[in-house]
Amino acid sequence: MKAAILHPGQTPFLQIEEAPRPEPQPGQVLLRVLACGVCRTDLHIAEAELPPLREQLIPGHQIVGEVAGGATAELPLGSRVGVSWIGGTDGDCWYCQHSMENLCDHPTFTGYTVNGGYAEYALAQADFVFPLPEGLDNVHIAPLLCAGIIGFRSLRVAAVVPGERVGLFGFGSSASLAIKVLQSWKCDVYVSTRGESHRQMATALGATWVGKEDEVPPVQLDRAVTFAPSGKVVLHALSSLRKGGVVAINAIHLDQMPAFDYDKLLWGERQIRSVANMTRQDARDFLAIAHQLKIHPQVVTFSLDNANKALLAVKEETERGSSVIVP
Ligand SMILES: [Zn+2]
Ligand SMILES: [Zn+2]
């Protein structure tokens, strides 16, 4: 099969190569990849901001696939499913036993600890694939599978209450999906982001206010979610909060947290929380909401041969829409 393979330290990031088609083991399904979304985490992996764990890796953790092997009664041949970042857990650590499988001590991460979906075929754990709602084609579902689900989890971690004022700091794929959920909750959404194309997208999607990355929203926010991998942005969000407000950091990697003034920024029971991974329940809940709200992401498609270009589009924030690879 054809695959885009990351050899850590090489340039460009990905080599388009022939690789053996994987064989499903018990408990796994083989998927023919129909589309695979490109996430900022893929870029962190390619740039070794997340430490390399394998000699070579097929990245990609927003996989829309068709069951092509290892079929079961629940997952018959040809059925369409999604795979996300959380590709498996041990099921018996303290976190798994306390409904926090996102924090599992021995997790499998798709396209990081195991091969992912920048390929014609991919393996997945049968109990970590999600049935997909009808009504959206493959390329438009792909960005829902991590950008959408973890963006949604971020709103949960920030404890957003309907009707609140919510700030989104950074406006890529994840934020452009979260805004739809917030609007359905009648929240006012304030967007602060770099990149003219992202500001235009936020305006087009109906944000109450849109500003540059160093502009402060005109009101105090109840909640904020930061999407940029920058500690400075977290402090910017924190400085925009009312007392008792929460900043949720939707980023698996931050450059660094600058020192900050506790008395001025955190005092008053403001909170900073990270958002780590996702649970299967987050996935099921978000996919149901996305279906109900008819969320239809803007996408830009790339062939597998152009997988490097798809990664660069995420890095440079040039596209108004989520990058999706179609093998
Ligand atoms: Zn992701
Ligand atoms: Zn566990």
Closest ligand, as measured to the CA of 101 = 2
So what's the pLDDT on residue 231? 96
Q: What is the pLDDT of residues 144-173, one digit of tens each?
A: 999 999 999 999 999 999 999 999 999 988
**Distance linking the first and last C-alpha atoms of the chain:** 10
Q: What is the pLDDT of residues 43-91, one digit of tens each?
A: 999 999 999 999 999 999 999 999 999 999 999 999 999 999 999 999 9
Percent helix, strand and coil across the chain, each to the nearest 5:
30, 30, 45
Closest ligand, as measured to the CA of 251 = 1
Confidence class of residue 10 from pLDDT cuts 50, 70 and 90? confident
Closest ligand, as measured to the CA of 103 = 2
- How far is the centre of ligand 2, averaged over its atoms, from the C-alpha of 121 (Å)? 27
- How far is the centre of ligand 1, averaged over its atoms, from the C-alpha of 18 (Å)? 25
Q: What is the pLDDT of residues 98-116, one digit of tens each?
A: 999 999 999 999 999 999 9
- How far is the centre of ligand 2, averaged over its atoms, from the C-alpha of 92 (Å)? 5
Say if residue 319's pLDDT is above 80: no
Q: What is the pLDDT of residues 228-265, one digit of tens each?
A: 999 999 999 999 999 999 999 999 999 999 999 999 99
So what's the pLDDT on residue 2? 98
Q: What is the pLDDT of residues 18-33, one digit of tens each?
A: 999 999 999 999 999 9
Closest ligand, as measured to the CA of 88 = 2
CA distance 247 to 242: 11
> Which conformational region is residue 111 in: left (phi greater than 0), alpha (psi within -120 to 50 degrees), or beta?
left
> Positive or negative CA dihedral for 188, 189, 192, 198?
negative
CA distance 36 to 2: 14
- How far is the centre of ligand 2, averaged over its atoms, from the C-alpha of 325 (Å)? 31
- How far is the centre of ligand 1, averaged over its atoms, from the C-alpha of 152 (Å)? 12
Confidence class of residue 316 from pLDDT cuts 50, 70 and 90? confident
Say if residue 318's pLDDT is above 90: no
- How far is the centre of ligand 1, averaged over its atoms, from the C-alpha of 243 (Å)? 31
Closest ligand, as measured to the CA of 107 = 2
Closest ligand, as measured to the CA of 142 = 1
Closest ligand, as measured to the CA of 91 = 2
CA distance 4 to 311: 11
So what's the pLDDT on residue 134? 83
Computed over every residue of the chain, the mean pLDDT equals: 95
Residues 34 and 66 sit within 8 Å (Cβ to Cβ): yes
CA dihedral 148, 150, 153, 154 (to 10 degrees): -100
Q: Which two tokens stand for residue 258?
A: 């600058």
- How far is the centre of ligand 2, averaged over its atoms, from the C-alpha of 33 (Å)? 27
Q: Is 51 helix (H, G, I), strand (E, B) or coil?
A: coil
Collect all residues with Cβ–Cβ distance below 8 Å to 279 and sequence separation of at least 6: 86, 99, 100, 101, 102, 153
Closest ligand, as measured to the CA of 112 = 1
Say if residue 315's pLDDT is above 90: no
Backbone angles phi, psi at 65, to 5 degrees: -140, 165
Closest ligand, as measured to the CA of 102 = 2
Question: Any idea which of 10-24, 128-142, 191-205, 311-325 has the lowest mean pLDDT?
Answer: 311-325
So what's the pLDDT on residue 215? 94
So what's the pLDDT on residue 135? 84
- How far is the centre of ligand 2, averaged over its atoms, from the C-alpha of 317 (Å)? 35
- How far is the centre of ligand 2, averaged over its atoms, from the C-alpha of 90 (Å)? 4
Closest ligand, as measured to the CA of 90 = 2
> Positive or negative CA dihedral for 89, 95, 100, 105?
negative
Q: What is the pLDDT of residues 189-217, one digit of tens each?
A: 999 999 898 999 999 999 999 999 999 99
Q: For 268, which DSSP code?
A: T
H helix intervals, the chain:
40-46, 138-141, 147-157, 173-184, 196-204, 231-238, 280-292, 307-316
Say if residue 320's pLDDT is above 80: no
- How far is the centre of ligand 2, averaged over its atoms, from the C-alpha of 94 (Å)? 7
What's the whole-model pTM score? 0.95
- How far is the centre of ligand 1, averaged over its atoms, from the C-alpha of 256 (Å)? 20
Closest ligand, as measured to the CA of 97 = 2
Distances in Å between the alpha carbon of 219 and those of 122, 170, 184, 201, 261?
Answer: 47, 18, 21, 21, 21
**How many Cβ atoms sit within 10 Å of the Cβ of residue 297?**
22
Closest ligand, as measured to the CA of 250 = 1
- How far is the centre of ligand 2, averaged over its atoms, from the C-alpha of 97 (Å)? 7
Residue with tokens 């967007």: 191
Confidence class of residue 8 from pLDDT cuts 50, 70 and 90? confident
